[in-house]
Amino acid sequence: MAKTVDQFSTIENFRTKYNELAVDVGELNGLRTEETGNIVDALNSLEDKSFFFQEFKYSATSGQTVFSGNDSANNSLVFRSERIQVFKNSDHLLLGTDYSIGGVDGNKHTEITLNVGASASDVITIYAYTGSYLGSAIGAGGGTDGQFTETAQNTIYNKNSNGIILNGSSTGRTTTLTTPAKIEFDSGGTGIFSQESITFQPGASVTADSFVGDLTGDVTGNLTGNVTGNVSGSSGTVTSISTHSASGLSDINYTTTPTNGQILTWDNANGYWEPADNQSLSSLSGDTDDLTEGSTNLFHTTERVQDAAAAMITSATHSNISVSYDDASNTLSFTAGATYTDSDARGAIAGGDGLAYNSSTGNMSVNTAKGIEINNDTVELDYETTSTAPSSASGTVEGHLWFVI
């Protein structure tokens, strides 16, 4: 009987009627549905679980095995796996023994195939039904219903709160969660395979004691543990390696504390890089004369360049010049041999037979006599030709010659 409160009731009447109604209706958490927030949600959830039953009838042709599409009442066959009953005439057929299902369409099927062809005019009847709770056996939690619910949108979700274990084997199943995680996979040692990409919620992490296989794509975050294999890619960055040091690399050997400007050199004998001061010259390849200056530490400094250049110049062989290096001021001083003036050169020259030399002017002259003269810078004979001997010519005249022709 409905509990009503009229406008003339007292507060006590209202309280009594309300309490009676509450007792009659019951608590929301008493509903056998997972949606207990309010009556509307509860009713919608129950509607999602509504039971549906459909009959499909086909009149077979001789030898027909496949039944699908519209039946004799023009209903198109559609059903869920394990939710049908199949009859041939009045005989109940068994899945696997008498028929198989096919025509996968999402989470539905659209055809059955008889193992043995039907006879002409045999009536094949298929009863399809739905229901939201999959299975009815008593579960590990003691409930009388299965722990998965199906919605009208064909999605399935669990109703229990302590976790889910998905086993990939019918024997030796894992029945207890081994980690605090609420979902656990046990494939029986064969691994989990996905044909599609796996997307994680932003900020989620992946934790594994070991990871075997290829990891392709961009990784943002921290990777803790050991990685065996190759890391390759044409782009991408590692945002921070501030917690790593070069000395921790397997092919770098530090036996001394690094110093300012120090470099690493390759030790081929031991197969690692190390500070140059750790090595002896015999372990270095190449021209060792170019590798050291009192030390096998090969780092570059301006002082070393200056010292090397000075050593090359001051140790070389020079003619009439000397070189000195001032290391403190980083300068080279060049000193040439003795120099000579004009007077020094003139003083070193003297005249000879028939030649006269003026050391003051540096001029040289020819001594002329007895038929020799200088004519316009030319030394020549002092002569003339004639047809008759000159009357003045006698044995007392010297130096001038006459040729009588």
pLDDT confidence of residue 41 = 79
3-class secondary structure, 147: coil
Give the pLDDT of residue 99. Answer: 96
Average pLDDT over residues 275-295: 47
pLDDT tens-digit readout, 9-68:
788 887 788 777 777 777 777 776 767 778 787 777 766 666 678 899 999 999 999 999
Residue among 163, 111, 128 at smallest CA distance from 51: 128
Tokens of 65: 């095995």
Say how far apart CA 177 and CA 175 lie, in whole Å: 7
First to last CA, the chain: 187
Structural element, H or E, at residue 53 = strand 53-59
Lowest mean pLDDT of 58-72, 165-179, 308-322, 364-378, name the range: 364-378
Query: Regarding predicted confidence, which is higher, 171 or 12?
Result: 12
Q: Are 159 and 35 in contact (CB under 8 A)?
A: no
pTM of the model: 0.31
What is the reported pLDDT for 228?
65
Residues in the chain: 405
| Alpha helices (runs of H) in 139-230, residue ranges in sequence order | none
pLDDT above 50 (res 213): yes
* Pair 357, 347: CB distance under 8 Å: no
CA distance 145 to 179: 26
pLDDT of residue 47: 66
Arithmetic mean of pLDDT over the chain: 76
Q: Secondary structure of the chain: what % helix, strand, coil (to 5)?
A: 15, 25, 60
Mean pLDDT score, 159-172: 80
3-state secondary structure of 290: helix
At residue 100, does pLDDT exceed 60?
yes
Instruction: Identify the residue with better confidence: 247 or 313.
Output: 313
Q: Contact, 375 vs 382, CB < 8 A?
A: no
